[in-house]
Amino acid sequence: MAELIPIYLMGKKYSVPEGSTILGAIEHAGYQLIRGCGCRGGFCGACATVYRVPGDHQIKVGLACQTQIEENMTLTILPSYPANKALYDLETVKDPVKALWQAYPEIFKCLGCSACTKICPQDIAVMDYIAGAKRGNLEQVAELSFDCIMCGLCASRCLAQMVPYNVAMMARRLYAKNTLVKPDYVLKRIEEVEQGNYKDEIDELIGKDIEELRKIYAGRDIEGI
C-alpha cells in the first residue's frame, strides 16, 4: 500500500496516498465530486486547482486530474470561475474586428503583465493573443488560443479584469465564419441532411435508448484506427 502523506484540503488536514493526483486525493479524503471533475483526462478544464507547497512563496496552479500531490500542500479546487461573457449574433456581424472590440473593450486595458500566460496550465501565450486581439489579428488569436480549455485561471489573475478565454472564443468563431473557407464536403453533407437524405437513419437513432446509443458509439469506425 502507498504511504500516506498529509495535505490540507480547503483548510482541513487529510492523510492521502503518496503519488495520488489531486483529484484522487480529494476523493480518497471522502469528497464526492459532482462538479469540478469533468473528463478526468486533462481536456475539459473543469478541475482547475490553486495550491501552495511549503517553502515556496508562489501560488501554483494545475489541473487536479494531472497534478500529483505533494506533502503538506494546501489546495482548493475551482469548479467554476465567475466571468463575464458578451452576447453576440454571428449572423449579424458585418465587421468582425469591430464586433470583437465592441464586445470586449476591456482588452485595451491590458497591462502586458503576463500574469495570464504564467498561470495557464496549457502554457498558452495568453498575453500574446490578447495583443493580437487589440491589433485586430483574429487569425493570431485563433491560432494561439486553440488549445485553451477555458479553465478560468487566466481570468482569475488578470489585473485588468478581463476574461481572456471568452475573448479568444469569440475571435475563433469570427475567424472561422468570416475568413476560413468552408470545405466543399461539409457543405455537401449539410445540403444532403437538409434535403432529408438521412431522415430514416436519424429517426432510427432518435428511437433508440441510451444503452443502445452507447454501444453504437463505442463500436463506430474511427478514421485512422
Give, in degrees to the nearest 5, the angle at Cα 135 between 173 and 176: 15
Q: Would the pLDDT of 93 be above 60?
A: yes
Mean pLDDT of the 106-117 span: 95
Asked if residue 197 lies in contact with residue 189, where contact means CB atoms within 8 angstroms, the answer is: no
Who has greater pLDDT, 78 or 124? 124
Which pLDDT band, with edges at 50, 70 and 90, does 42 fall under?
Answer: confident
Which pLDDT band, with edges at 50, 70 and 90, does 144 fall under?
Answer: very high
Intervals of CATH 1.10.1060.10 along the chain: 90-178
Which pLDDT band, with edges at 50, 70 and 90, does 62 fall under?
Answer: confident
- 151 alpha carbon, distance to own chain's centre: 5
If we measure between CA atoms, which residue out of 96, 162, 178 comes closest to residue 127? 162
CA 110/CA 46 separation, integer angstroms: 26
The answer to which of 20-24, 43-47, 116-120, 220-224 has the lowest mean pLDDT is: 220-224
Write the DSSP string, 103-160. H-GGGGG-----HHHHH-TT---HHHHHHHHHHT-HHHHHHHTTT----SHHHHH-TT
Name the residue with cell 428511437: 207
Intervals of CATH 3.10.20.30 along the chain: 4-77
pLDDT at 222: 67
Global pTM reads 0.71
Q: Would the pLDDT of 87 be above 90?
A: yes
pLDDT at 106: 95
CA 117/CA 50 separation, integer angstroms: 15
Q: Which CATH superfamily is domain 4-77 in?
A: Beta-grasp domain (3.10.20.30)
pLDDT at 225: 46
Q: For domain 90-178, give the CATH number.
A: 1.10.1060.10
Mean pLDDT of the 195-210 span: 92
The answer to which of 37-41, 130-134, 214-218 has the lowest mean pLDDT is: 37-41
* pLDDT 10s digits, 176-202: 998 888 888 988 999 999 999 999 999
